[in-house]
Structure 1
Amino acid sequence: MAKVLIVEDNEMNRDMLSRRLQRKGYEISIASDGEEGIRLATELLPDLILMDMSLPVLDGWSATRQLKTAPETQRIPVIALTAHAMSSDREKALEAGCDDYDTKPVDLNRLLAKMEALL
């Protein structure tokens, strides 16, 4: 069972996504801001991280950069999740070190395909 860390500040989005992924067999951990996301990623070493980009305390771009420069977490794939759907937002997420990018609202089948490709 793949371990997935969801870093998302919106409680409704967290609950919906975690329930849907648990039903698909994923083991889910949740962080509500970028700083907590880094701490949990370092502690739990998940197989994949779903990273909201607009987070309190530390945004998703900064959190991803830190994860991708730390030896213990740099190989964990990160998928950026954002309501920003401009092509420049995708480029910005990839430049920060994200391995893929998806938009909100989440299309579960599309997201699952991206997750499976990285796992």
Structure 2
Amino acid sequence: MKSCLVVDDSKVIRKVARHILETLNFNVDEAEDGQEALDRCGDRMPDVVLLDWNMPKMSGMEFLKNLRSAAHPVQPKVVFCTTENDAAHIRAAIDAGADEYVMKPFDRETLESKLQIVGVA
């Protein structure tokens, strides 16, 4: 079974994402900021990370840059999930190593299609 780490400071978003991902047969773990997410990845690397942009302690971009610069032998797919929808934010995320980008609010079909695009659904 595939695993997903949902990283978002909103408990509601984490709960919605968890519900959708579990119906798609993912094992789901959660983190409420980038630092907690890095710690979880150090313990056990997920197959995919669903990542918010704006969070306390460590933003999604800071997390992504740290993750991609680390010498992990296996890197997860990263799907940014955020309200930041302008071209500059999307380009910055892709340039930093994101594999896909999905806008909030999202639904099951949208999330499933993004996971299929990155090859983990």
Same fold (TM over 0.5): yes
**Which structure 1 residue ranges, 5 or more long, are not aligned?**
none
Residue 93 of structure 1 pairs with residue 93 of structure 2: yes
RMSD: 1.3
Distance 1:6 1:51, change over 3 A: same
Q: Is the 8 A contact 2:4 2:49 kept in 1?
A: yes
Give the TM-score normalised by the residue count of structure 1: 0.93
2:21 is matched by which residue type in structure 1? Answer: L
The aligned counterpart of 1:39 is: 39
Shift of 1:76: 1.2
> CA contact under 8 A between 2:3 and 2:26: conserved in structure 1?
yes
Q: Matched residues in 2 for 1:80 and 1:74: separation?
A: 19
Structure 1 stretches of 4+ with a deviation exceeding 3 A read none
- Report the alpha carbon displacement of residue 108 of structure 1 after superposing the two structures with TM: 2.2
Q: Can you give the 5+ residue segments of structure 2 that lack an aligned partner in the other structure? A: none
Give me the TM-score of the superposition, normalised by structure 2: 0.92
Check conservation: 2:83, 2:103, Cα contact below 8 A: yes
Identity of aligned residues (%): 25
Describe the shift of the 1:22–1:110 C-alpha distance in structure 2 as closer, same or farther (beyond 3 A).
same
Residues 74-113 of structure 1: matches in 2 within 5 Å? 75-113=75-113
SS at match of 1:36: helix
| 1:19 partnered with 2:19 | yes
Aligned length: 119
CA gap 1:60/1:35 in 2 versus in 1, 3 angstroms: same
Q: Which residue number in structure 1 is paired with residue 69 of structure 2?
A: 69
